[in-house]
Structure 1
Amino acid sequence: MTKAFRSLLFVPGARADRFDKAAASGADAVIIDLEDAVLPGEKDAARASALSWLASYMGAASAGVRINSPRTAAGCADIAALDALSRKPAFVMVPKAETAQDIEIVAEALGTRQIIAVIESGRSLSNVYAVAHEAGAGLLFGGADYAASLGADLANWDAMLLARATIAAAGAAAGAATYDVPFLDVADMAGLEAETRRSKALGLSGRACIHPGQVALVNTVFSPSVEDVAHARALLEAAAAAQAGAVLFKGKLVDRPVILAAQRLIDRAGG
């Protein structure tokens, strides 16, 4: 499994005054957005500001950039500008990832597999397993565009369940992290928590955010609790002592998949 972030905070590429604030928000990763958050006439200026900041950024949070679709002129300009940087961002997010070839083209052009592919249409969902194997840094559910392309309701959990579950499964098959779409109602913290807990239960690795006020809650949901860590440690100790493929632990027969899940939880908690 690739490194998974709990939270990824989007910041508009046209708002350079917000870049440092986003990096200091507590998010595991910051995404400078050159796509949806930037008007067509501001693309060149936003690209220059974003790449200048990324080239000198030395903060703790991972910092990446969402380029425009590689199928567009703006996306090709983004790729060319990134290729000229001597110091590349931590990852590149590729929107409108319709096929594995979209990711392959960006990866070859930039010489990196640190790419997060955005799955945001019926076509991209149909190709998500192939896309996941090319996107070395993971998958993001682009729920707003996906819902619009289907005429579906993004706010309806059941309507989006197939897409979320398919992305989670594709990520697991490729060993790639998977991230949920941002929760758009920034004032509804109870709704954010409830939906994020459902996302975690599906197997998604983390969640994108559109406001710094969402970050702490998302981090909390995707962080193993003290009780979970203690349980996992005890299970691993019991398995090690038994020296067998399965072990009776707290009245339940636990086998290798459960033991591996406990190890992943410990790894995510930092050992």
Structure 2
Amino acid sequence: MTHPPFRFGPALLFCPADRPDRFAKALERADAVILDLEDAVAPDAKADARRAVAASALDPERVIVRLNPASSPEFAADVEMLAETPYRTVMLAKCEGTVDLVDLVDFEVVALCETARGVLAAEQVAAIPNVVALMWGAEDLVASLGGSSSRHDDGTYRGVATHARARVQLAAAAHGIAAIDTVHLDIADLVGQSAEARDAAALGFAATACIHPSQVDAVREAYRPADDRLEWARAVLAEASIQPGVFAFRGGMVDAPVLRQAEAIVRRRSRD
């Protein structure tokens, strides 16, 4: 079965679901808003958060609702509430296997693989027909390992985090769905945010999740191919139309993988 395309732009912005005063502004700033019923909401505010989501009137084509984990006591109420709304794209927190998705057949699902079990199950989860994307998460992953830090002192990710990132992206690509890169927790570090988003774009991630509006422009710019790269991509594709097979172009060899990379650059720029 063919998976539906990932229709959102590159900058996805989390917004606490118990802060309806921020919903419209978050959606205005980003390509899509993630209304977060999980970590951003205190346990005693979960019911109020569901009521706020149910009462909202946002464009359902640009809304993702993050649900509490399928193993949590809040999950059933989250799903019941959403059935009465127009929102049909959900992000399942701490997805750990296909059994977690059985109650979500009526939704497009972004599966958040952010525990050891979830990362190891990414390949099976990505094969489910209504899963449209996989996302990974570093902090819950490290917590599930009994660790205390996902990054080295210089800000780079530790090995297990980079492994999880790669495994989740490979699982998504193998099944033709999108991969979403995780959040950058240091809000003030826009240089680091930009570097990570540029790396994600270069590797083929479809989007990066943000936790603050100030990160959105940095992510968008990182995913936008530079003018010189766009010029090269268009030129090499034009050359390929008159030179079949492998050929030399501006001092480099061009074959089928290089042409697919050029096509990806043009596609990314066309989303502007």
Superposed pair shares fold, TM > 0.5: yes
Aligned length: 260
Q: Write the distance in 2 (CA, Å) between the matches of 1:98 and 1:58.
A: 29
How much does 1:204 deviate?
Answer: 2.5
* Structure 1 gap segments, 5+ residues each: none
Alignment-derived partner of residue 83 in structure 1: 83
Percent of residue pairs identical: 35
Question: What aligned pairs does 1:111-190 form with structure 2 within 5 A after superposition?
Answer: 111-112=106-107, 114-134=108-128, 136-150=131-145, 151=147, 153-156=149-152, 157-159=157-159, 160-190=161-191
Match status 1:46 vs 2:16: no
How much does 1:72 deviate?
Answer: 2.1
Alignment-derived partner of residue 13 in structure 1: 17
Decide whether the 8 Å contact of 1:4 with 1:177 is kept in 2. no
How much does 1:179 deviate?
Answer: 1.5
Q: Write the distance in 2 (CA, Å) between the matches of 1:194 and 1:233.
A: 25
* Structure 2 gap segments, 5+ residues each: none
Alignment-derived partner of residue 218 in structure 2: 217
How much does 1:217 deviate?
Answer: 0.3
Instruction: Compare 158-167 and 209-218 and name the one that shifted more.
Output: 158-167
Instruction: Compare 11-20 and 261-270 and name the one that shifted more.
Output: 261-270
Name the aligned partner's letter for residue 142 of structure 2.
A
How much does 1:4 deviate?
Answer: 5.3
How much does 1:194 deviate?
Answer: 2.6
Decide whether the 8 Å contact of 1:2 with 1:136 is kept in 2. no
How much does 1:245 deviate?
Answer: 2.9
Q: What are the superposed Cα offsets for residues 58-108 of structure 1, whole Å, 9 maximum, x if unpaired?
A: 38x7111101112222111111111233x234x2100111002323x1432
SS of residue matched to 2:40: coil
Gap change, CA 1:208 and 1:258, over 3 Å in 2? same
Gap change, CA 1:196 and 1:88, over 3 Å in 2? closer
Q: Write the distance in 2 (CA, Å) between the matches of 1:247 and 1:41.
A: 63
Partner of residue 95 from structure 1, selected from 93, 108, 113? 93
Length-normalised TM-score, structure 2? 0.89
More helix by share: 1
Q: Write the distance in 2 (CA, Å) between the matches of 1:202 and 1:256.
A: 17
Decide whether the 8 Å contact of 2:36 with 2:67 is kept in 1. yes
Decide whether the 8 Å contact of 1:238 with 1:247 is kept in 2. no
Q: Write the distance in 2 (CA, Å) between the matches of 1:64 and 1:73.
A: 21
Instruction: Compare 176-185 and 196-205 and name the one that shifted more.
Output: 196-205
Name the aligned partner's letter for residue 121 of structure 2.
N
Decide whether the 8 Å contact of 1:3 with 1:177 is kept in 2. no
Alignment-derived partner of residue 238 in structure 1: 239
Length-normalised TM-score, structure 1? 0.89
